[in-house]
Structure 1
Amino acid sequence: MKWRSARRSSNVEDRRGMPGGGGMKLGLGGIAAVVVIGLLLGKSPMEMLGLVAQVQQQAPAGSQAPSAPVDDEASQFIASILGETEDVWGAVFEASGSRYTPARLVLFSGQVQSACGGATAAVGPFYCPGDQQVYIDLSFFDQMEARLGGGGDFAEAYVIAHEVGHHVQTLTGVSAQVNEIRRRGGNVEGADGPLVRQELQADCYAGLWAHHAQKRHAWLEPGDLEEALATATAIGDDTLQRQGQGQVVPDSFTHGSAEQRVRWFRAGFESGDVRRCDTFAAGAL
Protein backbone atom coordinates (compact mmCIF):
# COMPACT_ATOMS: atom_id res chain seq x y z
CA MET A 1 0.00 0.00 0.00
CA LYS A 2 1.51 3.30 -1.12
CA TRP A 3 0.24 5.27 1.84
CA ARG A 4 2.96 7.93 1.82
CA SER A 5 1.14 9.86 -0.91
CA ALA A 6 -1.63 10.87 1.50
CA ARG A 7 -1.73 14.10 3.48
CA ARG A 8 -0.78 13.64 7.12
CA SER A 9 -3.34 14.75 9.65
CA SER A 10 -2.37 17.05 12.51
CA ASN A 11 -5.12 15.53 14.68
CA VAL A 12 -2.90 12.83 16.19
CA GLU A 13 -1.97 12.88 19.86
CA ASP A 14 0.89 10.62 20.90
CA ARG A 15 0.61 9.39 24.48
CA ARG A 16 2.89 6.41 24.02
CA GLY A 17 5.28 6.06 26.92
CA MET A 18 3.27 8.31 29.21
CA PRO A 19 2.75 6.64 32.62
CA GLY A 20 -0.76 5.27 32.66
CA GLY A 21 -1.54 7.06 29.42
CA GLY A 22 -3.32 9.65 31.51
CA GLY A 23 -5.19 6.85 33.24
CA MET A 24 -6.43 6.19 36.77
CA LYS A 25 -6.26 3.40 39.31
CA LEU A 26 -9.36 1.24 39.08
CA GLY A 27 -11.62 0.69 42.07
CA LEU A 28 -15.33 0.00 42.07
CA GLY A 29 -15.93 3.21 40.17
CA GLY A 30 -13.34 2.22 37.59
CA ILE A 31 -14.98 -1.15 37.11
CA ALA A 32 -18.28 0.62 36.53
CA ALA A 33 -16.56 2.80 33.92
CA VAL A 34 -15.35 -0.33 32.14
CA VAL A 35 -18.92 -1.59 31.96
CA VAL A 36 -19.95 1.76 30.44
CA ILE A 37 -17.19 1.45 27.85
CA GLY A 38 -18.44 -2.01 26.98
CA LEU A 39 -21.94 -0.69 26.39
CA LEU A 40 -20.72 2.27 24.33
CA LEU A 41 -18.51 0.06 22.19
CA GLY A 42 -21.06 -2.69 21.75
CA LYS A 43 -18.96 -5.19 23.67
CA SER A 44 -19.97 -7.54 26.47
CA PRO A 45 -19.28 -5.93 29.88
CA MET A 46 -17.96 -9.28 31.12
CA GLU A 47 -15.56 -9.38 28.17
CA MET A 48 -14.37 -5.89 29.01
CA LEU A 49 -13.92 -6.68 32.70
CA GLY A 50 -11.86 -9.70 31.80
CA LEU A 51 -9.49 -7.49 29.81
CA VAL A 52 -9.02 -4.81 32.44
CA ALA A 53 -5.63 -4.29 34.08
CA GLN A 54 -4.70 -1.93 36.90
CA VAL A 55 -3.74 1.50 35.57
CA GLN A 56 -0.51 2.66 37.14
CA GLN A 57 -0.89 6.37 37.75
CA GLN A 58 -3.69 8.48 39.24
CA ALA A 59 -4.51 11.40 36.95
CA PRO A 60 -7.76 13.22 36.16
CA ALA A 61 -9.06 12.90 32.63
CA GLY A 62 -7.68 15.60 30.41
CA SER A 63 -4.88 16.56 32.84
CA GLN A 64 -2.12 15.42 30.51
CA ALA A 65 -1.03 17.98 27.94
CA PRO A 66 -0.87 16.59 24.39
CA SER A 67 2.64 15.59 23.41
CA ALA A 68 4.17 16.01 19.99
CA PRO A 69 3.86 12.80 17.94
CA VAL A 70 7.03 10.75 17.69
CA ASP A 71 8.16 11.01 14.09
CA ASP A 72 8.50 7.29 13.43
CA GLU A 73 7.05 5.29 10.54
CA ALA A 74 4.14 4.02 12.62
CA SER A 75 2.96 7.50 13.56
CA GLN A 76 3.48 8.70 10.00
CA PHE A 77 1.27 5.85 8.74
CA ILE A 78 -1.44 6.63 11.28
CA ALA A 79 -1.36 10.34 10.42
CA SER A 80 -1.55 9.57 6.70
CA ILE A 81 -4.55 7.26 7.01
CA LEU A 82 -6.32 9.67 9.34
CA GLY A 83 -5.59 12.55 6.97
CA GLU A 84 -7.13 10.62 4.12
CA THR A 85 -10.27 9.89 6.15
CA GLU A 86 -10.56 13.63 6.80
CA ASP A 87 -10.25 14.46 3.12
CA VAL A 88 -12.68 11.77 1.95
CA TRP A 89 -15.34 12.43 4.57
CA GLY A 90 -14.91 16.16 4.16
CA ALA A 91 -15.85 15.78 0.50
CA VAL A 92 -18.75 13.41 1.27
CA PHE A 93 -20.23 15.77 3.87
CA GLU A 94 -19.72 18.80 1.60
CA ALA A 95 -21.59 17.04 -1.21
CA SER A 96 -24.58 16.68 1.12
CA GLY A 97 -24.44 20.33 2.15
CA SER A 98 -22.89 19.82 5.58
CA ARG A 99 -19.47 20.10 7.17
CA TYR A 100 -17.31 17.30 8.50
CA THR A 101 -15.67 17.79 11.90
CA PRO A 102 -12.61 15.51 12.09
CA ALA A 103 -12.00 13.12 14.94
CA ARG A 104 -8.77 13.16 16.91
CA LEU A 105 -6.73 9.99 17.20
CA VAL A 106 -4.79 9.09 20.34
CA LEU A 107 -1.86 6.69 20.24
CA PHE A 108 -1.21 5.03 23.59
CA SER A 109 0.67 2.13 25.08
CA GLY A 110 -0.66 -0.17 27.77
CA GLN A 111 -3.58 1.82 29.11
CA VAL A 112 -5.35 5.08 28.53
CA GLN A 113 -7.97 7.39 30.00
CA SER A 114 -10.76 8.62 27.74
CA ALA A 115 -14.03 10.43 28.31
CA CYS A 116 -15.63 6.97 28.26
CA GLY A 117 -13.41 5.84 31.17
CA GLY A 118 -10.18 3.93 31.50
CA ALA A 119 -9.21 1.19 29.05
CA THR A 120 -6.32 -1.18 28.47
CA ALA A 121 -4.56 -2.16 25.28
CA ALA A 122 -6.37 -5.52 25.36
CA VAL A 123 -9.63 -3.75 24.49
CA GLY A 124 -8.27 -3.03 21.02
CA PRO A 125 -8.87 0.15 19.00
CA PHE A 126 -12.01 2.01 20.04
CA TYR A 127 -13.89 5.21 19.44
CA CYS A 128 -15.22 7.24 22.35
CA PRO A 129 -18.22 9.43 21.41
CA GLY A 130 -17.80 11.37 24.66
CA ASP A 131 -14.65 13.10 23.42
CA GLN A 132 -14.96 12.18 19.72
CA GLN A 133 -11.55 10.51 19.70
CA VAL A 134 -10.20 7.23 18.36
CA TYR A 135 -7.80 5.35 20.65
CA ILE A 136 -5.22 2.86 19.37
CA ASP A 137 -2.42 0.92 20.98
CA LEU A 138 -0.29 -0.09 18.00
CA SER A 139 0.52 -3.44 19.62
CA PHE A 140 -3.00 -4.47 18.59
CA PHE A 141 -1.85 -4.71 15.00
CA ASP A 142 0.85 -7.20 15.98
CA GLN A 143 -1.74 -9.26 17.86
CA MET A 144 -4.15 -8.99 14.95
CA GLU A 145 -1.59 -10.64 12.71
CA ALA A 146 -0.23 -13.17 15.21
CA ARG A 147 -3.49 -14.34 16.80
CA LEU A 148 -6.42 -13.36 14.61
CA GLY A 149 -5.11 -14.20 11.17
CA GLY A 150 -5.41 -10.65 9.84
CA GLY A 151 -2.80 -8.00 9.26
CA GLY A 152 -0.92 -5.85 6.77
CA ASP A 153 -0.92 -2.12 6.16
CA PHE A 154 -4.24 -1.97 4.32
CA ALA A 155 -5.84 -4.15 7.00
CA GLU A 156 -4.59 -1.67 9.60
CA ALA A 157 -6.00 1.18 7.52
CA TYR A 158 -9.35 -0.64 7.44
CA VAL A 159 -9.39 -0.83 11.24
CA ILE A 160 -8.69 2.91 11.55
CA ALA A 161 -11.31 3.75 8.91
CA HIS A 162 -13.86 1.56 10.74
CA GLU A 163 -13.34 3.51 13.98
CA VAL A 164 -13.61 6.80 12.08
CA GLY A 165 -16.86 5.38 10.70
CA HIS A 166 -18.18 5.40 14.26
CA HIS A 167 -17.25 9.08 14.44
CA VAL A 168 -19.29 9.68 11.30
CA GLN A 169 -22.20 7.91 13.02
CA THR A 170 -21.83 10.25 15.99
CA LEU A 171 -21.94 13.27 13.71
CA THR A 172 -24.98 11.98 11.82
CA GLY A 173 -26.93 10.95 14.92
CA VAL A 174 -26.89 7.19 14.31
CA SER A 175 -24.99 6.46 17.53
CA ALA A 176 -27.48 8.52 19.55
CA GLN A 177 -30.37 6.52 18.10
CA VAL A 178 -28.78 3.20 19.10
CA ASN A 179 -27.99 4.53 22.56
CA GLU A 180 -31.59 5.67 22.96
CA ILE A 181 -32.82 2.14 22.25
CA ARG A 182 -30.45 0.88 24.92
CA ARG A 183 -31.51 3.59 27.37
CA ARG A 184 -35.13 2.54 27.01
CA GLY A 185 -34.21 -1.03 27.88
CA GLY A 186 -34.39 -2.40 24.35
CA ASN A 187 -32.24 -5.33 23.29
CA VAL A 188 -29.51 -4.07 20.99
CA GLU A 189 -27.54 -7.31 20.57
CA GLY A 190 -28.24 -10.18 18.23
CA ALA A 191 -27.48 -11.03 14.61
CA ASP A 192 -30.14 -8.61 13.34
CA GLY A 193 -29.93 -6.08 16.18
CA PRO A 194 -29.05 -2.37 16.21
CA LEU A 195 -25.46 -2.93 17.41
CA VAL A 196 -24.69 -5.28 14.52
CA ARG A 197 -26.28 -2.83 12.08
CA GLN A 198 -24.18 -0.02 13.56
CA GLU A 199 -20.96 -2.02 13.27
CA LEU A 200 -21.71 -3.22 9.74
CA GLN A 201 -22.40 0.36 8.70
CA ALA A 202 -18.96 1.31 10.06
CA ASP A 203 -17.51 -1.52 7.96
CA CYS A 204 -19.34 -0.17 4.91
CA TYR A 205 -18.04 3.32 5.69
CA ALA A 206 -14.51 1.89 5.83
CA GLY A 207 -15.06 0.38 2.39
CA LEU A 208 -16.46 3.67 1.08
CA TRP A 209 -13.38 5.45 2.40
CA ALA A 210 -11.11 2.91 0.71
CA HIS A 211 -12.99 3.35 -2.59
CA HIS A 212 -12.43 7.10 -2.69
CA ALA A 213 -8.88 6.91 -1.33
CA GLN A 214 -8.00 4.46 -4.09
CA LYS A 215 -9.47 6.79 -6.72
CA ARG A 216 -7.41 9.65 -5.31
CA HIS A 217 -4.08 7.88 -4.94
CA ALA A 218 -4.18 4.49 -6.72
CA TRP A 219 -2.27 3.27 -3.69
CA LEU A 220 -3.47 -0.33 -3.39
CA GLU A 221 -1.02 -3.05 -4.34
CA PRO A 222 -1.65 -6.74 -5.10
CA GLY A 223 -2.91 -8.48 -1.99
CA ASP A 224 -3.99 -5.33 -0.14
CA LEU A 225 -7.72 -5.85 -0.58
CA GLU A 226 -7.35 -9.50 0.43
CA GLU A 227 -5.62 -8.34 3.64
CA ALA A 228 -8.61 -6.23 4.61
CA LEU A 229 -11.11 -8.97 3.77
CA ALA A 230 -9.09 -11.53 5.74
CA THR A 231 -9.10 -9.20 8.72
CA ALA A 232 -12.87 -8.62 8.43
CA THR A 233 -13.28 -12.40 8.42
CA ALA A 234 -10.97 -12.85 11.41
CA ILE A 235 -12.90 -10.39 13.59
CA GLY A 236 -16.40 -11.61 12.73
CA ASP A 237 -18.48 -12.55 15.78
CA ASP A 238 -18.89 -16.13 14.60
CA THR A 239 -15.15 -16.54 14.01
CA LEU A 240 -14.24 -15.14 17.43
CA GLN A 241 -16.94 -17.11 19.25
CA ARG A 242 -15.93 -20.33 17.56
CA GLN A 243 -12.31 -19.76 18.56
CA GLY A 244 -13.09 -18.59 22.08
CA GLN A 245 -15.95 -20.83 23.21
CA GLY A 246 -16.26 -23.51 20.58
CA GLN A 247 -19.74 -22.54 19.47
CA VAL A 248 -21.54 -19.70 17.71
CA VAL A 249 -24.34 -17.84 19.52
CA PRO A 250 -25.98 -15.41 17.06
CA ASP A 251 -28.21 -13.91 19.78
CA SER A 252 -25.08 -12.43 21.39
CA PHE A 253 -23.61 -10.97 18.19
CA THR A 254 -22.50 -7.34 18.48
CA HIS A 255 -20.42 -6.78 15.33
CA GLY A 256 -21.72 -9.18 12.69
CA SER A 257 -20.59 -12.46 11.20
CA ALA A 258 -17.46 -12.79 9.09
CA GLU A 259 -19.59 -13.04 5.95
CA GLN A 260 -21.58 -9.94 6.85
CA ARG A 261 -18.51 -7.87 7.64
CA VAL A 262 -16.87 -8.79 4.35
CA ARG A 263 -20.07 -8.17 2.37
CA TRP A 264 -20.74 -4.73 3.84
CA PHE A 265 -17.13 -3.64 3.46
CA ARG A 266 -17.39 -4.67 -0.19
CA ALA A 267 -20.66 -2.74 -0.57
CA GLY A 268 -18.89 0.46 0.39
CA PHE A 269 -15.69 -0.34 -1.50
CA GLU A 270 -17.38 -1.26 -4.77
CA SER A 271 -19.93 1.57 -4.81
CA GLY A 272 -18.32 4.50 -2.99
CA ASP A 273 -21.92 5.58 -2.32
CA VAL A 274 -22.90 6.49 1.24
CA ARG A 275 -26.51 5.53 0.46
CA ARG A 276 -25.41 1.92 0.01
CA CYS A 277 -24.30 1.87 3.66
CA ASP A 278 -27.74 2.29 5.23
CA THR A 279 -27.72 -0.96 7.17
CA PHE A 280 -30.65 0.23 9.28
CA ALA A 281 -32.93 0.38 6.22
CA ALA A 282 -31.75 -3.01 4.96
CA GLY A 283 -34.31 -5.72 5.58
CA ALA A 284 -31.87 -8.60 5.88
CA LEU A 285 -28.24 -8.16 6.79
Structure 2
Amino acid sequence: MSKIPLIVVVGPTASGKTALAIDIANYGGGEIVSADSMQIYKYMDIGSAKPTAEEMSQAVHHLIGFLEPDDEFSVADYTELAHKTIADITSRGKIAVMAGGTGLYINSVVNDVTFGEIDTDYELREKLQKTAEEKGSEYLLEMLAEFDKESAERLHPNNVRRIIRAIEFYKTTGKPISKHQEETKRVESRYNPLMICIDWDRDVLYDRINRRVDIMIKSGLLEEVKGLMDMGYTKELNSMKGIGYKEIMDYYDGKMSLEDAVELIKQSSRRYAKRQLTWFRRDDRIHYVSSKNPFEESKKLIDEFLK
Protein backbone atom coordinates (compact mmCIF):
# COMPACT_ATOMS: atom_id res chain seq x y z
CA MET A 1 0.00 0.00 0.00
CA SER A 2 1.40 3.39 -0.98
CA LYS A 3 1.80 5.82 1.90
CA ILE A 4 -0.19 9.02 2.26
CA PRO A 5 1.95 12.17 1.77
CA LEU A 6 1.65 14.55 4.72
CA ILE A 7 3.38 17.90 5.15
CA VAL A 8 3.87 18.79 8.81
CA VAL A 9 4.83 22.28 10.03
CA VAL A 10 6.03 22.03 13.62
CA GLY A 11 7.77 24.35 16.05
CA PRO A 12 7.52 26.31 19.26
CA THR A 13 4.95 28.96 20.09
CA ALA A 14 5.32 32.26 18.18
CA SER A 15 7.63 30.72 15.56
CA GLY A 16 5.43 31.58 12.57
CA LYS A 17 3.86 28.16 11.92
CA THR A 18 0.48 29.57 10.87
CA ALA A 19 1.86 31.88 8.17
CA LEU A 20 4.19 29.21 6.78
CA ALA A 21 1.43 26.57 6.74
CA ILE A 22 -0.87 28.92 4.80
CA ASP A 23 1.85 29.62 2.24
CA ILE A 24 2.57 25.90 1.87
CA ALA A 25 -1.13 25.00 1.57
CA ASN A 26 -1.62 27.58 -1.17
CA TYR A 27 1.54 26.49 -2.96
CA GLY A 28 0.82 22.78 -2.84
CA GLY A 29 -2.96 22.86 -3.23
CA GLY A 30 -3.51 21.72 0.31
CA GLU A 31 -5.68 22.19 3.38
CA ILE A 32 -4.48 22.77 6.94
CA VAL A 33 -5.09 20.42 9.85
CA SER A 34 -4.43 22.12 13.17
CA ALA A 35 -2.37 20.22 15.75
CA ASP A 36 -2.84 22.54 18.71
CA SER A 37 -4.38 21.35 21.97
CA MET A 38 -5.78 24.81 22.84
CA GLN A 39 -7.10 25.91 19.45
CA ILE A 40 -9.63 23.05 19.49
CA TYR A 41 -11.85 25.06 21.89
CA LYS A 42 -14.55 27.59 21.09
CA TYR A 43 -14.44 31.13 22.54
CA MET A 44 -10.68 30.87 23.14
CA ASP A 45 -9.25 32.77 20.20
CA ILE A 46 -6.75 35.31 21.49
CA GLY A 47 -5.01 33.34 24.22
CA SER A 48 -4.65 30.25 22.02
CA ALA A 49 -3.30 32.34 19.10
CA LYS A 50 -5.85 30.91 16.69
CA PRO A 51 -5.46 31.95 13.05
CA THR A 52 -7.28 35.23 12.49
CA ALA A 53 -10.39 35.49 10.29
CA GLU A 54 -8.18 36.88 7.54
CA GLU A 55 -5.73 33.97 7.84
CA MET A 56 -8.60 31.46 7.89
CA SER A 57 -9.89 32.96 4.65
CA GLN A 58 -6.56 32.34 2.93
CA ALA A 59 -6.66 28.55 3.28
CA VAL A 60 -9.08 25.87 4.47
CA HIS A 61 -8.46 25.03 8.15
CA HIS A 62 -9.65 21.96 10.06
CA LEU A 63 -9.92 20.99 13.75
CA ILE A 64 -10.11 24.54 15.10
CA GLY A 65 -12.76 25.79 17.53
CA PHE A 66 -15.06 22.76 17.47
CA LEU A 67 -15.20 21.88 21.20
CA GLU A 68 -16.85 23.51 24.20
CA PRO A 69 -14.23 24.43 26.84
CA ASP A 70 -15.69 21.89 29.27
CA ASP A 71 -15.78 18.98 26.79
CA GLU A 72 -13.63 15.93 27.56
CA PHE A 73 -11.09 15.35 24.81
CA SER A 74 -8.04 13.10 24.69
CA VAL A 75 -5.04 12.67 22.42
CA ALA A 76 -6.71 9.45 21.21
CA ASP A 77 -9.80 11.47 20.24
CA TYR A 78 -7.63 13.97 18.39
CA THR A 79 -5.69 11.26 16.58
CA GLU A 80 -8.87 9.58 15.35
CA LEU A 81 -10.30 12.90 14.10
CA ALA A 82 -7.02 13.87 12.42
CA HIS A 83 -6.79 10.53 10.56
CA LYS A 84 -10.36 11.00 9.24
CA THR A 85 -9.68 14.61 8.26
CA ILE A 86 -6.45 13.77 6.44
CA ALA A 87 -8.16 10.88 4.64
CA ASP A 88 -10.94 13.22 3.48
CA ILE A 89 -8.48 15.86 2.24
CA THR A 90 -6.44 13.23 0.39
CA SER A 91 -9.55 11.65 -1.17
CA ARG A 92 -10.29 15.01 -2.82
CA GLY A 93 -6.88 15.09 -4.48
CA LYS A 94 -5.41 17.63 -2.09
CA ILE A 95 -2.50 17.38 0.33
CA ALA A 96 -2.92 17.72 4.08
CA VAL A 97 -0.69 20.25 5.83
CA MET A 98 -0.63 19.55 9.56
CA ALA A 99 0.49 22.56 11.58
CA GLY A 100 0.93 23.03 15.30
CA GLY A 101 3.11 22.86 18.34
CA THR A 102 1.49 20.09 20.39
CA GLY A 103 4.15 17.42 20.03
CA LEU A 104 2.00 14.63 21.43
CA TYR A 105 -0.74 15.30 18.85
CA ILE A 106 1.76 15.41 15.99
CA ASN A 107 3.69 12.29 17.02
CA SER A 108 0.51 10.31 17.59
CA VAL A 109 -0.71 11.03 14.06
CA VAL A 110 2.57 10.90 12.14
CA ASN A 111 3.71 7.72 13.89
CA ASP A 112 0.23 6.18 13.65
CA VAL A 113 0.12 5.46 17.38
CA THR A 114 -2.64 3.07 18.42
CA PHE A 115 -4.32 3.64 21.76
CA GLY A 116 -5.21 0.42 23.51
CA GLU A 117 -8.65 0.33 25.02
CA ILE A 118 -8.47 -0.15 28.78
CA ASP A 119 -11.21 -0.09 31.33
CA THR A 120 -11.45 3.22 33.15
CA ASP A 121 -10.83 2.91 36.87
CA TYR A 122 -13.06 5.74 38.04
CA GLU A 123 -12.32 5.07 41.71
CA LEU A 124 -8.57 5.31 41.16
CA ARG A 125 -8.99 8.38 38.93
CA GLU A 126 -11.05 10.16 41.59
CA LYS A 127 -8.50 9.25 44.27
CA LEU A 128 -5.61 10.60 42.16
CA GLN A 129 -7.54 13.80 41.41
CA LYS A 130 -8.06 14.32 45.12
CA THR A 131 -4.36 13.69 45.77
CA ALA A 132 -3.48 16.31 43.14
CA GLU A 133 -5.77 18.85 44.82
CA GLU A 134 -4.35 18.13 48.28
CA LYS A 135 -0.65 17.59 47.55
CA GLY A 136 -0.16 19.14 44.11
CA SER A 137 0.63 17.76 40.68
CA GLU A 138 4.37 17.58 41.42
CA TYR A 139 3.56 14.89 44.00
CA LEU A 140 1.78 12.87 41.30
CA LEU A 141 4.74 13.32 38.94
CA GLU A 142 7.05 11.90 41.61
CA MET A 143 4.67 8.96 41.98
CA LEU A 144 4.66 8.42 38.21
CA ALA A 145 8.47 8.62 38.06
CA GLU A 146 8.74 5.54 40.28
CA PHE A 147 7.51 3.30 37.45
CA ASP A 148 7.56 5.53 34.34
CA LYS A 149 10.42 8.02 34.53
CA GLU A 150 10.21 8.86 30.81
CA SER A 151 6.58 10.00 31.02
CA ALA A 152 7.24 11.88 34.26
CA GLU A 153 10.04 13.86 32.61
CA ARG A 154 7.94 14.58 29.51
CA LEU A 155 4.67 15.66 31.12
CA HIS A 156 4.17 19.21 32.38
CA PRO A 157 2.97 19.63 36.00
CA ASN A 158 -0.05 21.62 34.73
CA ASN A 159 -1.23 18.64 32.70
CA VAL A 160 -2.82 16.83 35.65
CA ARG A 161 -5.23 14.90 33.43
CA ARG A 162 -2.44 13.23 31.45
CA ILE A 163 -0.38 12.56 34.58
CA ILE A 164 -3.38 10.80 36.12
CA ARG A 165 -3.99 8.93 32.86
CA ALA A 166 -0.37 7.69 32.80
CA ILE A 167 -0.63 6.44 36.40
CA GLU A 168 -4.01 4.84 35.68
CA PHE A 169 -2.63 3.13 32.56
CA TYR A 170 0.20 1.56 34.55
CA LYS A 171 -2.02 0.52 37.45
CA THR A 172 -4.52 -1.04 35.03
CA THR A 173 -2.17 -2.74 32.55
CA GLY A 174 1.07 -3.16 34.51
CA LYS A 175 2.89 -1.47 31.64
CA PRO A 176 4.26 2.12 31.52
CA ILE A 177 2.35 4.20 29.00
CA SER A 178 5.70 5.39 27.55
CA LYS A 179 6.59 1.74 26.76
CA HIS A 180 3.19 1.26 25.12
CA GLN A 181 3.77 4.38 23.00
CA GLU A 182 7.26 3.17 22.06
CA GLU A 183 5.89 -0.21 20.96
CA THR A 184 3.26 1.40 18.76
CA LYS A 185 5.98 3.41 17.02
CA ARG A 186 7.34 0.15 15.63
CA VAL A 187 4.13 -0.33 13.65
CA GLU A 188 4.65 1.13 10.20
CA SER A 189 2.79 4.40 9.73
CA ARG A 190 0.31 5.02 6.92
CA TYR A 191 2.00 8.38 6.26
CA ASN A 192 5.03 9.57 4.38
CA PRO A 193 5.71 12.84 6.23
CA LEU A 194 7.70 15.90 5.26
CA MET A 195 8.35 17.67 8.56
CA ILE A 196 9.44 21.32 8.56
CA CYS A 197 10.41 23.66 11.41
CA ILE A 198 11.47 27.31 11.27
CA ASP A 199 14.87 27.69 12.90
CA TRP A 200 15.03 30.74 15.17
CA ASP A 201 17.81 32.11 17.32
CA ARG A 202 16.61 31.45 20.89
CA ASP A 203 16.82 35.10 22.00
CA VAL A 204 14.92 36.30 18.94
CA LEU A 205 12.21 33.70 19.51
CA TYR A 206 11.85 34.76 23.15
CA ASP A 207 11.51 38.38 22.06
CA ARG A 208 8.78 37.35 19.60
CA ILE A 209 6.98 35.56 22.44
CA ASN A 210 7.15 38.61 24.71
CA ARG A 211 5.84 40.89 21.97
CA ARG A 212 3.04 38.51 21.10
CA VAL A 213 1.84 38.43 24.71
CA ASP A 214 1.72 42.24 24.70
CA ILE A 215 -0.33 42.10 21.48
CA MET A 216 -2.71 39.56 23.04
CA ILE A 217 -3.35 41.90 25.97
CA LYS A 218 -4.00 44.83 23.61
CA SER A 219 -6.23 42.65 21.42
CA GLY A 220 -8.59 41.80 24.29
CA LEU A 221 -7.27 38.77 26.18
CA LEU A 222 -8.65 40.15 29.47
CA GLU A 223 -12.09 40.54 27.96
CA GLU A 224 -11.92 37.06 26.43
CA VAL A 225 -11.08 35.47 29.79
CA LYS A 226 -13.76 37.51 31.58
CA GLY A 227 -16.30 36.31 29.04
CA LEU A 228 -15.33 32.69 29.67
CA MET A 229 -15.63 33.21 33.43
CA ASP A 230 -19.04 34.81 32.95
CA MET A 231 -20.12 31.71 31.01
CA GLY A 232 -19.27 29.64 34.07
CA TYR A 233 -15.98 28.12 32.96
CA THR A 234 -13.58 27.65 35.88
CA LYS A 235 -9.83 27.13 36.14
CA GLU A 236 -10.36 23.52 37.20
CA LEU A 237 -11.11 22.73 33.55
CA ASN A 238 -8.23 21.43 31.46
CA SER A 239 -8.92 24.10 28.81
CA MET A 240 -8.62 26.90 31.36
CA LYS A 241 -5.21 25.65 32.48
CA GLY A 242 -3.71 26.86 29.23
CA ILE A 243 -1.05 29.58 29.40
CA GLY A 244 -2.70 33.01 29.38
CA TYR A 245 -6.02 31.83 30.73
CA LYS A 246 -5.05 30.64 34.20
CA GLU A 247 -2.89 33.71 34.85
CA ILE A 248 -5.62 36.18 33.87
CA MET A 249 -8.13 34.22 35.95
CA ASP A 250 -5.79 34.59 38.93
CA TYR A 251 -5.66 38.33 38.22
CA TYR A 252 -9.46 38.55 38.25
CA ASP A 253 -9.52 36.48 41.46
CA GLY A 254 -7.24 39.06 43.09
CA LYS A 255 -4.31 36.66 43.43
CA MET A 256 -1.86 38.84 41.50
CA SER A 257 -1.56 42.19 39.77
CA LEU A 258 -2.11 42.53 36.04
CA GLU A 259 1.56 43.39 35.60
CA ASP A 260 2.60 40.20 37.40
CA ALA A 261 0.07 38.13 35.44
CA VAL A 262 1.40 39.42 32.10
CA GLU A 263 5.00 38.77 33.14
CA LEU A 264 4.07 35.25 34.24
CA ILE A 265 2.39 34.58 30.88
CA LYS A 266 5.59 35.63 29.11
CA GLN A 267 7.76 33.52 31.39
CA SER A 268 5.51 30.45 31.08
CA SER A 269 5.35 30.86 27.30
CA ARG A 270 9.15 31.01 27.04
CA ARG A 271 9.46 27.88 29.19
CA TYR A 272 6.86 26.13 27.07
CA ALA A 273 8.77 27.07 23.91
CA LYS A 274 11.93 25.60 25.42
CA ARG A 275 10.13 22.31 26.13
CA GLN A 276 8.71 22.27 22.60
CA LEU A 277 12.17 22.78 21.11
CA THR A 278 13.53 19.93 23.22
CA TRP A 279 10.68 17.69 22.08
CA PHE A 280 11.13 18.42 18.37
CA ARG A 281 14.94 18.21 18.49
CA ARG A 282 14.55 14.50 19.27
CA ASP A 283 12.97 13.88 15.85
CA ASP A 284 15.65 13.57 13.18
CA ARG A 285 13.03 13.62 10.40
CA ILE A 286 12.51 17.35 10.84
CA HIS A 287 14.00 19.72 8.26
CA TYR A 288 14.96 23.16 9.65
CA VAL A 289 14.45 26.18 7.43
CA SER A 290 15.84 29.67 7.97
CA SER A 291 13.65 32.20 9.76
CA LYS A 292 14.79 34.77 7.18
CA ASN A 293 13.13 33.02 4.24
CA PRO A 294 11.24 29.96 5.48
CA PHE A 295 8.78 29.63 2.60
CA GLU A 296 11.41 29.77 -0.16
CA GLU A 297 13.43 27.04 1.56
CA SER A 298 10.28 25.02 2.22
CA LYS A 299 9.29 25.18 -1.46
CA LYS A 300 12.49 23.36 -2.43
CA LEU A 301 11.75 20.61 0.10
CA ILE A 302 8.14 20.33 -1.09
CA ASP A 303 9.08 20.18 -4.78
CA GLU A 304 11.44 17.28 -4.04
CA PHE A 305 8.89 15.62 -1.74
CA LEU A 306 6.01 15.73 -4.24
CA LYS A 307 8.02 14.53 -7.26
Structure with the greater relative contact order (CA < 8 A, sep ≥ 6): 1 or 2? 2
**Fold conserved between structures, TM > 0.5:** no
Larger-gyration structure (1/2): 2
TM normalised by structure 2 equals 0.28
TM normalised by structure 1 equals 0.29
